[in-house]
Amino acid sequence: MGRQRDDVAAPATTAPERRGLTTPEAAARLRRDGPNVLPVPRPPSPALLLVRQMTHFFALLLWAAAGLAFLGGLPQLAVAIVIVVLVNGVFAFVQEYRADRAGRRLRELLPARVIVRRDGRRIMVDAADLVTGDIVLLGAGDRVSADLELLDVHSLALDESMLTGESVPVHPDPGGRAHAGTFVVEGEAETRVAATGGRTRLAGIAALTRQAHRRPSPLTLQLRRVRTSRAASAENVPGSFTSSGSSIVALARSRRLVMTGTGISLRTSVRRRTPGWPGRSTCSSIREPAVPRLRFVTSHPWDLSDRLIEAMRDSPSVCEHLHLPVQSGDDLVLRRMGRQYTIGHYLARLEAIRAAVPGIALSTDVIVGFCGETEAAFEATLRTVERAGITKVHVFPYSPRPGTRTAGVDAVPPQAKKERSARLRALSHELCLRRWRGKLGGEDVVLVDRPGRGYGDDYSPWLVDAPVGELVRVPGAAVTEEGIRAA
């Protein structure tokens, strides 16, 4: 939990409908609905998984081939085949076992404690004891513990990347939803619990991870390719291949498409450094998209290749906005994070994109208070944000996560994290206002994505009166805390 809890037991003067449940009501609903925890399936038997990988169709063929090779007087070949089957089986076993555990790890995303209002008082309870109808109070740094209906919001920004894959926070209005597993980047909200436990959207994602089709092992893929290529050659049927970029064409009916680095980059350090990545097919689809507005949200500076920059420059549909996480402005902290780039490289990538797309708006993510972050390192982050010309910073106070190298190390005091986060958010707010004021007197094309609100070409928020889903050209009349008000 990211904010101070000095007011946990203080009485609240609220309207009757906001006083929350009574203790007996909460206890009755807890007995009726059960605890607010994600369902945990019975873990798979490792022995059964291993046997399955050693006895599927292709493995049985290879076992038979090894036996025939041994009977035919070729023991070396038999041993080689056995080794191939064993290595492939172990690889596939590890892959499937990890996939089966993915849903269980989602439980770690839910907080242990949460502030609610019951009997007209603010109290802290176990997140597992939340029930439908509870009034939950959210603040910056909080992890959402259940699916919540938003009653009152104050500059609320939610990171929904866990659910949607998009790293740019959303700004929901009253009446909207905050889902379990999402993160409060900034602002506050008073909410009512709409769903708990297995009825949340996060529980649905966990179920999908268990139901998802397992990716075949490398050996199985190679054998399938051999079988397919032989059949195609025998029948003289020309092959048909699709590229990763072709998925863009399939979204021709969309008004906006957000491309994330997760979708087009390879997640290994070796491939990330491959010159020219992403490929020509993806870049070609960016140059000629089937949607009127395309926004690229990358996740790592290595993904921003020269080829991709050229494609963004040449496409009339690509928004003049790029979200490129920096995470820290200090090289030593970046090394501890394992980010595999320096601030010099990061700034060089920004110079390249600015040269190709003048006036592009830049946003970023920063983790505040990472292990070993000194005051000097944080000051370097502030200077980097200003030097880079970033217009929006999404601030995430560091908190240890189980299973990571830094799980037991959290040397930065919570108060220091809170103060640094506030300073960085204040700088981000000023940078946003500065860019918004620069748009007054001009026009922008706004995509209206909800009643009364939309986003400009550079992802600046606009307050507009137009039908949802429409692209409208509007002049800027005034700047508010919520965004630019259209004339």
Residue partners of 165: CB distance under 8 A and separation at least 6: 260, 262, 263
Give the global pTM. Answer: 0.55
The pair of structure tokens assigned to 217 is 């092992």
Cα 276 to Cα 260, 306, 368, 468: the distances in Å are: 17, 7, 32, 38
Instruction: Give the residue among 364, 369, 425 at the shortest CA–CA distance from 399.
Output: 369
pLDDT at 108: 58
Cα 328 vs. chain centroid, distance in angstroms? 18
Position of tokens 């863009």?
Answer: 248
What is the C-alpha separation between 460 and 446, in angstroms, rounded? 9
What is the C-alpha separation between 170 and 176, in angstroms, rounded? 11
Provide the 8-state DSSP code for 95: H
pLDDT at 239: 31
Q: What 3-state class would DSSP assign to 8?
A: coil
Strands (E), 212-271: 256-260
Q: What are the backbone dihedrals phi and psi of residue 463, each rounded to the nearest 5 degrees, phi first?
A: -105, 105
Environment class of 254 (CB within 10 Å of its CB; exposed 0-12, middle 13-18, buried 19+) = middle
Give pLDDT < 70 ranges for the chain. 1-17, 40-44, 95-111, 162, 165-167, 205-291, 298-299, 407
The pair of structure tokens assigned to 435 is 């860019």
pLDDT at 193: 94
The residue count of the chain comes to 487
